[in-house]
C-alpha cells in the first residue's frame, strides 16, 4: 500500500468515528431534552390540576364548615388531611421517579464521556500507527533508492566489461 492510501484510510476512519460519535451525541442530547421537556410538562400539568383540586376542595370545605356543626368540621378536616397525606405520598413517589430518571440521565452522560475517551484513545492509536507506517514507508523508499543506485552502478560496470570484452574480441580477431 502507498503512503497516500494509508493516509486516506486513516482519514476515513477518523471521519467515520467522528460522524458516529457526533450522531450518538446528537441523538442522546435530543432524547435527554425530549424526556426533560415531557417530564417538566407532565409535572406542570399535574401541579396545576392538583392546585385546582386543592383550591376547589378548600373552598368546598370552607362552605361546609360554615354550614355544619363542629363535629362535622372535624370529620371533614380528617378527610382532607388523609387526602393531603395521600397526595404527599404520591408526590414523594413522583420525586423518587424523577430522581431515578435524573440518575439514569447522569449515567448515560457518563457513558457518553467514556465513549468519547475511548474514541480519543483510538484516535491517538490510529495516529501513532500512521506515523509508524510513514516511517516504514520512508525506510522502504530509502532501500529502493539504494538498490536502484546499486543496480545502476552494476549496469555501468557491466557496460565497461562488455566494452573490454568487445575490444578484446577485436584484438583477437586482428
CB 94, CB 43: distance < 8 Å: yes
> pLDDT tens, position by position, for the chain (174 residues)?
677 877 888 888 888 888 888 888 888 888 888 888 888 888 888 888 888 888 888 888 787 767 766 776 678 789 999 999 999 999 999 999 999 999 999 999 999 999 999 999 999 999 999 999 999 999 988 888 888 888 888 888 888 888 888 777 777 776
Domain residue limits, the chain: 3-134
How far does Cα 46 stand from its chain's mean position? Answer: 34
How far is Cα 124 from Cα 100, in angstroms, rounded to an integer? 36
How far is Cα 27 from Cα 23, in angstroms, rounded to an integer? 6
How far is Cα 140 from Cα 147, in angstroms, rounded to an integer? 10
Amino acid at each position: 500500500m502507498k503512503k497516500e492510501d494509508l493516509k486516506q484510510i486513516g482519514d476515513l476512519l477518523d471521519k467515520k468515528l467522528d460522524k458516529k460519535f457526533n450522531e450518538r451525541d446528537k441523538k442522546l442530547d435530543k432524547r435527554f431534552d425530549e424526556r426533560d421537556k415531557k417530564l417538566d410538562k407532565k409535572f406542570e400539568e399535574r401541579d396545576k390540576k392538583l392546585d385546582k383540586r386543592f383550591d376547589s376542595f378548600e373552598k368546598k370545605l370552607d362552605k361546609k364548615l360554615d354550614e355544619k356543626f363542629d363535629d362535622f368540621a372535624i370529620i371533614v378536616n380528617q378527610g382532607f388531611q388523609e387526602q393531603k397525606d395521600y397526595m404527599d405520598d404520591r408526590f414523594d413517589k413522583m420525586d423518587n421517579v424523577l430522581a431515578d430518571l435524573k440518575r439514569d440521565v447522569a449515567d448515560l452522560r457518563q457513558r457518553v464521556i467514556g465513549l468519547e475517551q475511548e474514541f480519543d484513545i483510538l484516535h491517538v492509536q490510529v495516529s501513532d500507527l500512521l506515523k509508524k507506517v510513514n516511517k516504514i514507508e520512508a525506510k522502504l523508499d530509502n532501500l529502493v533508492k539504494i538498490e536502484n543506485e546499486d543496480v545502476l552502478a552494476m549496469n555501468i560496470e557491466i557496460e565497461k566489461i562488455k566494452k573490454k570484452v568487445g575490444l578484446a574480441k577485436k584484438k583477437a580477431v586482428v
